[in-house]
């Protein structure tokens, strides 16, 4: 057998960009009936996951044309093991792996029934991820139901449970804003383009917030170009001219769509657990003040500055340094905000102000903060004070 391993990115990511996953605890509700809905064309079989030496997907060349591939154990993290050319139920044929996240893998597949390419999120066969995926499906369906005029949210096409993996079938989108930045060697995008992207992003956020939903994980990786065109990839097609496998995607327009609704939170409740990927995390989340809709707006602000400058604004992994960076860029945190900090954040505050630079972990850290430009320098627009 000829196995090939594949990683989700051609290049190494420059920073860890993952967030804690807790949303299922706050959003999940009692479900009955459709929880383990199956694609009628497909039999689900469940087996106990066994340990495999590594978590990378194995791609098996030249597997079955019709029906399901032979049973393969999941890897040690509960990821589905697949082969390019396999069927994922008789309806979907796997073309390639597009991405991998906390939840599972995203596969580009050819939908034989709809005759279109789709992206299928194949969720890890672990209870908490399965449950969270069901919440994501609910959210995607809710968004689709209310989306009369194109909300800039990815559309769900279908879902099913296959060999103990929840599979979410999504419309196929193009590269992410992070891909654009990376491929552009982290050079700034033109301000007019950023303005247009910001408008679309805010439209999407307003749409979600009007439905009392807080995304909580807005970041360039989760904003995808909404169109893609297929052009022949001759390098591949000359060797293996198989259905759905010899195309590559190119960005076609500046229309964007938001993905990844697995961390969605209910806006009607108060929350104070940690959300968002570090660089896009709002101060109220770090300080334990309780958070709501505004945390999405904070993330949008960080994203827009990143698109204008080419680099993530707050590149840190430490809370106090992060807060100091915010003060450096935006001005002092208001005293009434610092006063409300919870116990875990008290250590960052001395006499009503941020314990900085006294509390800094190192001189290097102080220097890094000092080097950050003020917001006006990034945007060349007049400074607007207190942001909380």
Ligand X SMILES: Nc1ncnc2c1ncn2[C@@H]1O[C@H](COP(=O)(O)OP(=O)(O)OP(=O)(O)O)[C@@H](O)[C@H]1O
Q: How far is the CB of 294 from ligand X (least distance, A)?
A: 21
Asked whether position 309 contacts ligand X by CB under 6 A, the answer is no
User: Applying CB under 6 A, which of residues 172, 189, 197, 308 lies at the interface with ligand X?
Assistant: 172
C-alpha–C-alpha distance, residues 366 and 355, integer Å: 12
Q: How far is the CB of 21 from ligand X (least distance, A)?
A: 8
Nearest residue relative to ligand X (C-beta):
101
Asked whether position 220 contacts ligand X by CB under 6 A, the answer is no
173 or 333: whose CB is closer to ligand X?
173
Q: How far is the CB of 70 from ligand X (least distance, A)?
A: 26
C-alpha–C-alpha distance, residues 98 and 349, integer Å: 44
User: Applying CB under 6 A, which of residues 109, 134, 140, 173 lies at the interface with ligand X?
Assistant: 173
68 or 117: whose CB is closer to ligand X?
117
Tokens of residue 344, six digits: 């875990």
Other beta carbons within 10 angstroms of residue 324's beta carbon come to 27
74 or 260: whose CB is closer to ligand X?
260
Q: Is 270 annotated as a binding residue?
A: no
Q: Show contacts with ligand X in window 125-164 (CB under 6 A).
A: 154
Asked whether position 181 contacts ligand X by CB under 6 A, the answer is no
Asked if 217 is an active-site residue, the reply is yes
91 or 219: whose CB is closer to ligand X?
219
78 or 101: whose CB is closer to ligand X?
101
170 or 302: whose CB is closer to ligand X?
170
CB 313 within 8 A of CB 219: no
Q: What share of the chain is helix, strand, coil (3-state, %, to 5)?
A: 30, 20, 50
Asked whether position 18 contacts ligand X by CB under 6 A, the answer is yes
Q: Which range, of 33-41, 218-226, 232-240, 296-304, touches ligand X by CB under 6 A?
A: 218-226
Q: Show contacts with ligand X in window 89-118 (CB under 6 A).
A: 98-99, 101-104, 106
Give the β-pairing of 265-266 and 349-350: unpaired
The two most distant CA atoms of the chain are separated, in Å, by: 70
Q: How far is the CB of 283 from ligand X (least distance, A)?
A: 22
Alpha-carbon distance values, 19 to 275, 277, 296, 318 (Å): 7, 4, 14, 14
Tokens of residue 366, six digits: 């102080």
DSSP string, 190-239: PHHHHHHHHHHHHHHHHHHHHTTEE-----GGGEEES-EEEEE-HHHHTT
CA atoms within 13 A on the CB side of 362: 4
Instruction: Write out 105-125 in H/E/C secondary structure.
Output: EEEEEEECCCCEEEEEEEECC
Give the β-pairing of 265-266 and 213-214: antiparallel
Q: How far is the CB of 54 from ligand X (least distance, A)?
A: 18
Exactly one of 217, 227, 296, 342 is catalytic; which is it? 217
Q: Which residues are annotated as a binding site?
A: 128
Contact residues toward ligand X (CB under 6 A) are 18, 98-99, 101-104, 106, 119, 121, 154, 170-173, 176, 221-222, 224, 259-260, 262
Q: Which residues are annotated as a binding site for ATP?
A: 128
Query: Which residues are identified as catalytic?
Result: 217
């Amino acid at each position: 057998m000829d196995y090939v391993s594949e990683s989700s990115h051609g290049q190494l990511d420059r920073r860890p960009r993952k967030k804690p996953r807790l949303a299922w605890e706050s959003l999940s509700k009692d479900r009955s009936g459709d929880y383990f809905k199956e694609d009628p064309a497909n039999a689900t079989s469940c087996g106990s996951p066994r340990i495999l030496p590594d978590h990378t997907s194995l791609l098996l060349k030249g597997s079955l044309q019709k029906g399901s591939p032979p049973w393969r154990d999941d890897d040690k993290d509960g990821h589905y093991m697949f082969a390019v050319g396999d069927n994922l139920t008789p309806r979907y044929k796997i073309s390639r792996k597009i991405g991998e996240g906390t939840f599972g893998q995203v596969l580009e597949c050819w939908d034989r029934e709809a005759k279109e390419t789709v992206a299928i999120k194949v969720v890890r066969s672990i209870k908490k991820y399965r449950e969270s995926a069901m919440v994501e499906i609910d959210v995607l369906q809710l968004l689709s139901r209310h989306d009369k005029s194109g909300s800039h949210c990815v559309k769900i096409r279908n879902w099913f449970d296959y060999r103990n993996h929840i599979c979410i079938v999504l419309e196929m989108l193009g590269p992410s804003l992070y891909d654009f930045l990376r491929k552009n060697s982290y050079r700034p995008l033109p301000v007019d383009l950023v303005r247009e992207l910001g408008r679309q992003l805010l439209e999407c956020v307003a749409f979600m917030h009007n439905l009392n939903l807080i995304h909580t994980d807005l970041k360039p990786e989760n904003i995808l170009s909404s169109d893609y065109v297929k052009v022949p990839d001759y390098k591949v097609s000359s060797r293996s001219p198989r259905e759905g496998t010899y195309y590559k995607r190119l960005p076609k327009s500046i229309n964007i769509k938001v993905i990844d609704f697995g961390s969605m939170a209910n806006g009607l409740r108060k929350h104070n657990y940690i959300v968002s990927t570090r660089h896009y995390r709002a101060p109220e989340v770090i300080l334990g003040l309780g958070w709501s809709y505004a945390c999405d707006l904070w993330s949008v602000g960080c994203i827009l500055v990143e698109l204008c400058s080419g680099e993530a604004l707050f590149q840190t992994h430490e809370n106090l340094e992060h807060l100091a960076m915010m003060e450096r860029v935006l001005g002092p945190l208001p005293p009434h905000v610092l006063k409300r900090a919870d116990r875990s954040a008290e250590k960052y505050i001395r006499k009503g102000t941020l314990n900085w630079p006294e509390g800094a972990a190192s001189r290097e850290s102080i220097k890094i903060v000092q080097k950050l430009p003020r917001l006006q320098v990034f945007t060349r627009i007049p400074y607007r004070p207190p942001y909380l």
